[in-house]
Amino acid sequence: MAAFFSMEMWNDMRRYDYNPEIFLGWSRPKFWEYSTGAQQAVPEGKQFRRWKQCSHEQNYNAANLNEIGKEVPGAKYSEDYKTNGIWNAELDAWTINVWWDSTQE
């Protein structure tokens, strides 16, 4: 319980796919039901998997951030990020699988 709000706890939740047998009573915040933005960011049937890069990275390091998108399985990578946007600026970037959830080697 002491570590509940730590980064390691969140990592474990992702590793165990938010399993209700392990994380008793866990559910989406009530806010999710009423927020269209939250429902677009984390659609029904999906869970948080990663953090988005901060706005400084998107504003001042977009070219390098976009290069990283080539390596991220499930990212909506675009060759022309200046027109089409950076991969992790997509609304559902939160739900793109991390390395242990993908076939990435």
pLDDT of 2: 63
Q: What is the mean pLDDT of residues 17-39?
A: 86
Where residue 4 falls among pLDDT bands split at 50, 70, 90? low
* Residue 1: pLDDT over 60: no
Question: What is the Cα gyration radius of the chain?
Answer: 15
Residue 59's CB: how many other CB atoms inside 10 A? Answer: 9
Helix (H, G, I), strand (E, B) or coil at 87: helix
| Cut 0.85: pTM above it | no
pLDDT of 63: 84
CB half-sphere exposure, 20, CA atoms < 13 A: 4
Between 12 and 80, the more confident residue is: 12
